[in-house]
């Protein structure tokens, strides 16, 4: 019974990590759109290239943070949560 509970727990944690990583798709799409618009802007005003590139880099880094949050949660679910939940299950059985 304990083995079954542990198996279900590990499966659900893996599933949660996988679902969480869906958030990693968004930043890529957002960054791509931002860069495409920046290319158009630089095409219109080539003299503003340096300023646009700097702002774009920082904007992309901000966009990327959401993906990193998802990644951190997924890694915590895979590496940290199993020990924690296993402890809770074992205590409940005792």
Partner 1 sequence: MQKGNRFDNISVRFIFREEEPVLNLDPSVKRETGYIAAWTGILSLVMEAVFLLLRQWDVSVLLGNLGGAAAAVGNFFAMARTVSQAVEQGDPKSAATRVRASAAIRMLTIAGICALLIGLAKTNPFATLIPLLFPRVGIMFWPLAERKRKAETAGTEGSELD
Q: Which residues bind partner 1 (CB under 8 A)?
A: 24, 27-29, 31-33, 35-40, 42-43, 49-50, 52-54, 56-58, 60-62, 64-65, 67-69, 71-72, 74-76, 78-80
CA triplet 54, 72, 23: central angle to 5 degrees? 70
Closest CB to partner 1 among residues 83, 91: 83
Task: State the nearest-atom distance from the C-beta of 1 to partner 1, in Å.
Answer: 28
Task: Give the span between the Cα atoms of 93 and 12, in whole angstroms.
Answer: 20
Closest CB to partner 1 among residues 13, 67: 67
Half-sphere exposure at residue 47, Cβ-oriented, CA atoms within 13 angstroms: 0
Task: State the nearest-atom distance from the C-beta of 39 to partner 1, in Å.
Answer: 4
Task: Give the span between the Cα atoms of 14 and 44, in whole angstroms.
Answer: 47
């Amino acid at each position: 019974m304990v083995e079954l509970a542990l198996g279900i727990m590990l499966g659900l944690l893996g599933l949660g990590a996988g679902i969480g990583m869906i958030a990693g798709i968004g930043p890529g799409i957002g960054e791509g759109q931002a860069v495409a618009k920046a290319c158009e802007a630089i095409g219109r005003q080539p003299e503003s290239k340096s300023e646009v590139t700097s702002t774009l880099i920082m904007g992309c880094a901000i966009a990327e943070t959401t993906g990193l949050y998802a990644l951190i949660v997924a890694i915590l679910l895979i590496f940290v949560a199993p020990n924690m939940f296993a402890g809770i299950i074992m205590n409940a059985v005792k």
